[in-house]
Amino acid sequence: MAVWIQAQQLQGDALHQMQSLYGQHFPIEVRHYLAQWIEGQLWDSVELENPQDELKAKRLLDSLVQELQRKAEHQVGEDGFLLKIKLGHYASQLKSTYDRCPLELVRCIKHILHSEQRLVQEANNAVGSGGGGGTMDSLSQRHQQINQTFEELRVSTQETENELRKLQHNQEYFIIQYQENLRIQAQLSSLSAVPAEERTQRETSLQAKRATVEAWLTREANTLQKYRLDLAEKHQKTLGQLRKQQTLILDEELIQWKRRQQLAGNGGPTEGGLDVLQSWCEKLADLIWQNRQQIRRAEHLTQQLPLPGPMEELLTKLNSDITDIISALVTSTFIIEKQPPQVLKTQTKFAATVRLLVGGKLNVHMNPPQVKAVIVSEQQAKALLKNESTRNDSSGEILNNNCVMEYHRTTGTLSAHFRNMSLKRIKRSDRRGAESVTEEKFTVMFESQFSVGGNELVFHVKTLSLPVVVIVHGSQDNNATATVLWDNAFAEPGRVPFVVPDKVLWPQLCEALDMKYKAEMHSARGLCDDNLVFLAQKAFSSASINQEDYRNMTMSWAQFNRESLPGRNFTFWQWFDGVMELMKKHLKPHWNDGAILGFVNKQQAQDMLMSKPNGTFLLRFSDSEIGGITIAWVAENPNKRLVWNLMPYTTKDFSIHSLADRISDLNHLMFLYPDRPKDEVFSKYYTPPLSKAVDGYVKPQIKQVVPEYVYCHPSSGNPTYMDQAPSPSVAHPINFAIFPPIDPMMDADGEFDLEDTMDVARHVEELLRRPMANQWDGLFGSKY
């Protein structure tokens, strides 16, 4: 209800815009009397393009009708009687309007609520900026400038309309007087049959009258010509303003919206503002069309009464200019509202939505156009933008690639929703140099044809999607995502498809990685300065811990995802993407809680832990394994304190046993760095104890244990093992004991010895291959 309270305080144009949201499709009285209920419903949980959500929408419609009926029943008294009838009528009206299309009701209310929130936010921004005595922020200033220009254009268009009517009135009177002059001429010609005396008298009178009329006609012809020239000059000035306003909206505001849409593909904030853009484009279309009709009427007046002068050429030029302006508006406002996925797997269903921002205003929906989608290569996209014909129309085959545009009356939008497209096959081009298939870019082109003004103007429109990388297997996804991220982050407006810089400054890349990471974590906690220094050290094989040292360094695409990191068999991006995959699938809550430091190398972990009490541990990402995370902890033997590192866990491990449960199982882990008791941090994520078994079956539990070898005592040579300590909550010190030697699984630096571990595994595997009867021969000496 808070939004509605603020919406009622809007003033001026904002109030008018708010009021225009309502009508027979959704009465403003319903919004007023059910404000709290309406704002309390989960309208955004309904997917408008998902037919399966129609049941949700139907329940919301039924609930809305019931609330209205309940509200009507509670009205009492003389004033309440009329309101009771009105609310009951609205309940029936909404039921009959949306019963067969409940998703349209949800679409309508979502549009209303989002528009109100936008108007309230804009009003608050304006008040906040003005109240502080400072200037309004640049966004509000731009919007104010655009709205002010629209008002000026509305006034000038009305003025030319008045001038045109005046010109038409004067011309009609001129024609009447011209006809009068012709009538006088006819009378003079007929005087030959009149007697001489009478003829002389009448001829003198008619000639005087003709002279007067002709003098008036001459003066009035000059006046009409001046009116026409003045009107043409005003139209020329209005067209200049329209062109300038259109350039501001299409080349700045719409391009910025498209840029926000592209960055949203990397996890940036949602683009928003499309309804505002549509309202501006509709105002442009309305004003352009009014001026075009005025110019056409001026042309008709000129043809009706030709006068010597340059008017015909002037009007031809004006007509050509206004047609160019409206053509640019229509072709530029055919946009992709919902982009197809930028990593596109063959034989997989995908969706997209295209929208014509001026479709409703120009009545294109009266003859709904069809839109076709085709996939084209980068080279074909370049040729299309140069208006060069290509031998092949597409580079693949998309199923279900035709869709009719639908007009949604409640929101005034004309759009086509492709819900079930699928890329059946793809035709790849010859690759350049070291380029892989996951670096090859395609685009989905949407095209349509329609007419406006009763077939007066016919438009063939096309629009290209953001770059798409086509894959055939899930294993290609991470490399394809790298191509998309680089393109989305560093593409420049107006580029040739799909050119991007080969190298960028490290801070620019940091911004893109941080945006992507926060989006994957659904968290405001992104990459801090220390994390970015760690990544720079990894990317540039540097030991510097000073962030300033990396500020002017550049990273090339090859360094990012073509060349492997030194000593590794994976690239920088593959390592970073592996971290994100692990985190978003299993460790997101722990990152958001601040429990995972992550971006810490082995030496840093050792330096951090050595000054902490025994049993202190931290979580860091593995340097050597993609998508791995390890636990480092500090423990003390009688002679030496050491920092140990567990073999890294991966997604597969956490699918079996969660991180919190693994930490709970390891009693020698007591405090999360720097000094937080582990139960305080992780206990809310522990798996509850299993209930008692039923039907006589006991359900087994998985429990993690760690081989407790710590280090070999230098004097004895006997290996030492870490005893399992009590739970940290008991706070007993860690005990150490000497056990008979077994094959160690961790080396003296605290890392697993993979070769020794594999020896044990091979030995067990060999045993299991023997017949059951003699599997244990050699272990126990004889059968028993």
Mean pLDDT across 93-122: 85
Whether residue 354 is predicted with pLDDT greater than 90 in this model: the reply is: yes
How many residues are listed for the chain in this entry?
784
Contacts made by residues 535-540, CB under 8 angstroms, sequence distance 24+? 535/510, 535/576, 535/599, 536/506, 537/601, 538/565, 538/572, 538/575, 538/623, 539/506, 539/572
List pLDDT tens digits, range 133-156.
333 456 667 788 888 899 999 999
- Higher-scoring residue by pLDDT: 14, 716: 14
Whether residue 197 is predicted with pLDDT greater than 50 in this model: the reply is: yes
pLDDT level of residue 734 (50, 70, 90 thresholds): very low
pLDDT level of residue 579 (50, 70, 90 thresholds): very high
- Higher-scoring residue by pLDDT: 516, 743: 516
- Among the residue ranges 507-516, 530-539, 558-567, 686-695, the one predicted with the least confidence is 686-695
Q: Distance (Å, rounded) from C-alpha 344 to C-alpha 442?
A: 10
Question: Domain residues of the chain, as ranges?
Answer: 2-131, 165-329, 334-472, 501-586, 595-752
Tokens 């620019």 map to which residue? 508
- Higher-scoring residue by pLDDT: 50, 712: 50
- pLDDT given for residue 24 in this prediction: 79
List pLDDT tens digits, range 740-755.
333 344 444 444 444 4
The helix (H) or strand (E) run that includes residue 156 is: helix 138-189
Whether residue 779 is predicted with pLDDT greater than 60 in this model: the reply is: no
Single out the residue of 370, 377, 475 nearest to residue 418, CA to CA: 370
Q: Distance (Å, rounded) from C-alpha 197 to C-alpha 515?
A: 103
Q: Distance (Å, rounded) from C-alpha 519 to C-alpha 288?
A: 41
- pLDDT given for residue 755 in this prediction: 44
CATH level 2 (architecture), domain 501-586: Orthogonal Bundle (1.10)
- pLDDT given for residue 432 in this prediction: 67
Phi/psi class of residue 235: alpha, beta or left (left: φ > 0; alpha: ψ in -120 to 50)? alpha
- pLDDT given for residue 711 in this prediction: 42
The secondary structure of 323-378 as a DSSP string is: HHHHHHHHHHTEEEEEPPPSEEETT-EEEEEEEETTTTTTTGGGSPPEEEEEEEEH
pLDDT level of residue 720 (50, 70, 90 thresholds): very low
Q: Cβ distance 500 to 490 under 8 Å?
A: yes
Beta carbons within 8 Å of 513's beta carbon, 6+ residues apart:
527, 535, 576
pLDDT level of residue 122 (50, 70, 90 thresholds): confident
Q: Omega into 493 within 30° of 0, i.e. cis?
A: no
Judged by DSSP in three states, 403 sits in strand
Mean pLDDT score of the chain, rounded to an integer? Answer: 82
CATH level 2 (architecture), domain 165-329: Up-down Bundle (1.20)
pLDDT level of residue 245 (50, 70, 90 thresholds): very high
- Among the residue ranges 45-54, 261-270, 370-379, the one predicted with the least confidence is 45-54
CATH of domain 334-472: 2.60.40.630
Percent of the chain clearing pLDDT 90 (strictly above): 41
User: In this structure, what token pair is assigned to residue 431?
Assistant: 């690759």
Q: Cβ distance 605 to 553 under 8 Å?
A: no
Mean pLDDT across 535-555: 91
Single out the residue of 641, 578, 569 nearest to residue 609, CA to CA: 641
pLDDT level of residue 453 (50, 70, 90 thresholds): confident
Whether residue 781 is predicted with pLDDT greater than 70 in this model: the reply is: no
How many whole angstroms from its chain centre is CA 708? 51
List pLDDT tens digits, range 271-318.
677 888 998 999 999 999 999 999 999 999 999 998 888 888 999 999
- pLDDT given for residue 742 in this prediction: 36
Q: Distance (Å, rounded) from C-alpha 60 to C-alpha 43?
A: 8
Q: Distance (Å, rounded) from C-alpha 692 to C-alpha 723?
A: 30
Task: Indicate the CATH number of 595-752 among 3.30.505.10, 3.50.50.60, 3.30.360.10, 3.90.700.10.
Answer: 3.30.505.10
User: In this structure, what token pair is assigned to residue 425?
Assistant: 């096959």
Whether residue 93 is predicted with pLDDT greater than 80 in this model: the reply is: yes
Beta carbons within 8 Å of 548's beta carbon, 6+ residues apart:
none
- Higher-scoring residue by pLDDT: 49, 717: 49
- Higher-scoring residue by pLDDT: 138, 581: 581
- pLDDT given for residue 553 in this prediction: 93
List pLDDT tens digits, range 13-56.
778 788 878 887 888 888 888 888 888 888 888 888 777 888 88
Tokens 């904002």 map to which residue? 14
Percent of the chain clearing pLDDT 70 (strictly above): 85
Mean pLDDT across 109-132: 73
Whether residue 706 is predicted with pLDDT greater than 60 in this model: the reply is: yes
- pLDDT given for residue 321 in this prediction: 94
Q: Distance (Å, rounded) from C-alpha 667 to C-alpha 140?
A: 58
- pLDDT given for residue 691 in this prediction: 65
The helix (H) or strand (E) run that includes residue 214 is: helix 196-248
Written as one letter, the residue type at 386 is: K
Q: Omega into 498 within 30° of 0, i.e. cis?
A: yes
Angle between helix 102-131 and 54-73 (nearest 10) = 70
- Higher-scoring residue by pLDDT: 98, 576: 576
Q: Distance (Å, rounded) from C-alpha 531 to C-alpha 527?
A: 6
Single out the residue of 443, 180, 450 nearest to residue 336, CA to CA: 443
- Higher-scoring residue by pLDDT: 772, 672: 672
Bridge partners of residue 373, in order along the sequence: 446
- pLDDT given for residue 700 in this prediction: 78
List pLDDT tens digits, range 653-669.
999 999 999 999 888 89
Q: What is the 3-state secondary structure (H, E, C) of 289-300?
A: HHHHHHHHHHHH
pLDDT level of residue 778 (50, 70, 90 thresholds): very low
CATH of domain 2-131: 1.10.532.10
Phi, psi of 36 (to 5 degrees): -65, -40
- pLDDT given for residue 135 in this prediction: 36
Q: Distance (Å, rounded) from C-alpha 544 to C-alpha 534?
A: 9
